[in-house]
Structure 1
Amino acid sequence: MGDLSLFRPAAGATNGGPQLTKVVTRSSFWARLGAAWRQRRQLERLDARMLRDIGLTEADVHREMGRPLWDAPHPWRL
């Protein structure tokens, strides 16, 4: 089976042409999901003192843990 890629049109592209800003391969997609999962699990393991050090509350962590795996913060997205 050929490589499946996800494409995002360039900002402001109006002609429907092949203007692409980023191409993400399947392996990259799964790598990002894996990274999000690992980072959320690490966040969950922090105690209250560590959370205060980084400016988070236990409620913030609970909210993050309830998000779907594909719902990553903006910097992680394409």
Structure 2
Amino acid sequence: MGDRVVAVGSLEAKGLEYDAVVVVNPSGIAGESEAGLRVLYVALTRATQRLSVLSEAADEPDPDGVPALLR
């Protein structure tokens, strides 16, 4: 992807910071293991300036505002 873009997994990014982060499929990250919510937290907290989240229908909250991964 070039010198300025690096694709890393959530756990590979632990302890690092990036100017911009794109998190893809947050419910998939959260559901991949028992530690999924912790891994998602790591992914969502790596950005220092810009965070983008690409979600799917499963990531949308219910009428009460609770996403499926927290139900």
Per the TM superposition, whether the score is higher than 0.5 is no
Of the two, which has the highest radius of gyration? 1
Which one has a larger percent helix, Structure 1 or Structure 2? 1
Give the alignment's TM-score, normalised by structure 2. 0.30
Q: Work out which structure has the larger RCO, using CA pairs closer than 8 Å and 6 or more positions apart in sequence.
A: 2
Give the alignment's TM-score, normalised by structure 1. 0.28
